[in-house]
Chain A
Amino acid sequence: MGWFKRIKDGIQTTTKDKKETPEGLWHKCPTCKQMLTTEEHAENLWVCDKCEKHHRIGSVEYFHILFDNGRFKELETSLKSGDPLKFKDTKTYVVRLKQAKDKSKLTDAIRVGHGKMNDQDIIICCMDFNFIGGSMGSVVGEKISRAIDASLKKKIPLMIISKSGGARMMEAAFSLMQMAKTSAKLSLLAKAKIPYISLLTDPTTGGVTASFAMLGDVNLAEPGALIGFAGPRIVKETIGVDLPEGFQTSEFVLEHGFLDKIVKRKDLKNTISNLIKLFAN
């Protein structure tokens, strides 16, 4: 026999009177299951207000957060991927590209914007993970290369927001050479003494880590991001035992000396604009 007896019925609304909740009104944090309205979630810059998990966002959101009043001029919008190798695995690269475009409404895995950040000019390249895993192909390399050209010409600081699984296998060695291309170009920016801020977000791995992402005058990261060269699965296979707790997180990478600072999303804009002000001296 139970200790309590229910005197009223539970749900009293009849099915007929039940109100439907429209899709997309709520966001559930995948880490702590906290529920937020989509509006609150956006106001909170897509960070969970309970566990502070920084959820993955794209260039649209970053540009909105970082540029003054969300205003910027987009550069190099017409560049599109070719298919130099006529690559085909389970489907052709051309089909993959088309599907990625339809799904993401993007032309490739990076966008470049020029605008003001707290009244200072800045060029920001931002990667989009939902375009073939943010993978780096010729377009990503070329757009970064041209963004650096613009930065050199106008003498304004550059920021790259990395979010990528690494190389784009469907462009094979062309993809590999984008590492060489972007790093070589960055050496020109360094020579011209124009500040380059690298922001590593969840996830930044492979060829992107092994090129421009690690070459910032200042390397910043969002909290809790996965940052590494080899992916955790590959490292685990190599060593054959479980990986240590917190392996390849922003905090781990900071502790080992490869990041200057971990910055919360709400503090990004002010931290970066202050850095640029200090560099300008």
Chain B
Amino acid sequence: MATLIEIEKPLQKLLDQLDKAEHIQNESDVDVSKTIKDLKKKLREKRKEIFENLTAWERVMVSRHPDRPYTLAYINAITGGDFIELHGDRTVKDDKAMVGGLGSIDGQSVMFIGQQKGINTKMRQYRNFGMANPEGYRKALRLMKLAEKFNIPVISLIDTPGAFPGVEAEERGQGEAIARNLMEMAQLSVPIICIIIGEGASGGALGIGIGDKVLMLENSWYSVISPENCSAILWRTWEYKEQAAESLKLTGEDMLKNKLIDGIIKEPIGGAHNDPEETFRTVKEEILKQLKKLKAIEPDKLIEKRIKKFCAMGVTK
């Protein structure tokens, strides 16, 4: 049974009806296929209506939808099963909140990196809620360097509420780990495509976010801080999270308008969680399309363009 978040509550009645109709169709001789078809159509329309006009805060809620697909689901679907996960930063340990490894997309080898969230309570803890420690960022860097050595493009899938703010993270240099990645990614001689698939919070997201193409899924967000924390700091209460979400201009549309990302990937009607397979297909197509363009650019030129792009970001007078 699908989980419904607040904005999806209007779907409940239709879903219940559909459930019943399907039950009748399967368990009895009565033919209700027309009813089912009608209900499905109604559901589709209702979903479209809900998802067409999401506020910034509602998008943040969709980006955190419990049924939303996470990094490994994308990787497994896109590579068609030949993905080999690679572990460890070769210094401290293997960070479960950051995954990575080699796989292929339509015959092209790629190195995947990305934060991984858990699908249930136990896994969420195991994955530390997608909040990587310094060893996670160092693992990602190790894999990117490995990719560079064998001239393999890097695909970075971003989905994190932030880098982990713990005692050990500080001891092992969370700041240095992220900073190092920013500098090294700027100079990596292979194409890098970054896709924000869910939450893109602050330095924790940016730490694997320096790419030739930075794309956002339609219902993801990307900013310097989460709306809740922004509200807590500026208003000294969590109550203004909706307003903070609006002010931060964290949706794909706003980020694209402000020239801070390179594109938006459309999600199926009702969001990525409503049709993961369709989402994976779109993402795969987009990766292939971008890779084709990026592979045609000489490495020196690629690096130069990448650095120039980030250096143009900001507004001064």
Contacts and interface: CB of A to CB of B under 8 A. Distances in A.
Contact of B173 (A88, A214, A247): A214
Interface in B172-230: 172-176, 178-180, 182-184, 186-187, 202-203, 206-207, 209-210, 222-225, 230
A156 to B, nearest CB: 20
Contact of B250 (A138, A142, A145, A172): A172
A188 B260 CA distance: 21
A229 B167 contact: no
Interface in B287-317: 306-307, 310-311, 313-317
A177 B310 contact: yes
Interface string A222-252: 0000001110001100110001100110000
B18 interface: no
A134 B163 CA distance: 22
Interface in B213-252: 222-225, 230, 233-235, 240, 244, 247-250
A42 interface: no
A130 B78 CA distance: 50
A214 B176 contact: yes
B150 to A, nearest CB: 22
B311 A181 contact: yes
Contact of A180 (B174, B206, B248): B206
Contacts of B250: 172-173
B316 A142 contact: yes
Interface stretch (A7-15, A45-53, A74-82, A98-106): A74-82
Contacts of B52: none
Contacts of A178: 313-314
A80 B317 contact: yes
B166 interface: yes
Contacts of A207: 202-203, 224
B235 to A, nearest CB: 6
Contacts of B182: 179-180, 183-184, 210-211
A176 B171 CA distance: 23
A186 interface: yes
B173 A185 contact: no
Contact of B170 (A171, A185, A213, A229): A229
A172 B176 contact: no
Contacts of A212: 179
B225 A181 contact: no
Given A169-B230, A210-B178, A256-B173, A185 B311 contact: yes
Contacts of B172: 256
Nearest to B163: A229
Interface residues of B, number: 53
A82 B316 contact: yes
A174 interface: yes
Interface string A150-164: 000000000000000
B170 A228 contact: yes
Given A80-B317, A90-B234, A183-B182, A173 B173 contact: no
The 5 A-B residue pairs with the shortest CB-CB distance in the complex, in nearest-first order: A230-B165, A138-B314, A209-B175, A183-B182, A184-B186
Interface of A: 79-85, 87-90, 137-139, 141-142, 145, 167, 169, 171-181, 183-188, 190-191, 206-207, 209-215, 228-230, 234-235, 238-239, 243-244, 247-248, 256-258
Interface of B: 163-167, 169-176, 178-180, 182-184, 186-187, 202-203, 206-207, 209-210, 222-225, 230, 233-235, 240, 244, 247-250, 255, 258, 260, 306-307, 310-311, 313-317
Given A169-B224, A190-B183, A214-B173, 8 more contacts: A81-B317, A85-B258, A141-B314, A173-B222, A179-B178, A187-B187, A229-B203, A258-B173
17 contacts: A81-B315, A139-B316, A142-B316, A167-B202, A172-B247, A173-B222, A173-B250, A174-B260, A177-B310, A181-B314, A187-B307, A207-B224, A210-B163, A214-B179, A228-B175, A230-B165, A238-B165
